[in-house]
Amino acid sequence: MICYLKSHAAEVVRQLASQQEPMIITQNGGAKTVIQDVKSYE
């Protein structure tokens, strides 16, 4: 997922904003972090 995020950052940001759901970022098959849009964070 990290490689995908690097290549498609703008698309991921749009998806986060529209879905307002956190996204789990994986590395080597394991969950590493969670990102979410500001609106749902607040």
Q: What pLDDT digit, counting tens, does each position of 8-42 carry?
A: 999 999 999 999 899 999 999 999 999 999 998 98
Instruction: Give the model's pLDDT for residue 14.
Output: 94
Q: What is the pLDDT at residue 1?
A: 77
Residue 6 has pLDDT above 80, yes or no: yes
Per-residue burial over 23-35, b = 16 or more CB atoms within 10 Å of its CB, e = otherwise: eeeeeeeeeeeee
pLDDT confidence of residue 5: 87
The pTM of this model reads 0.71
> Residue 21 in 3-state DSSP?
coil
How much is the pLDDT for 31?
94
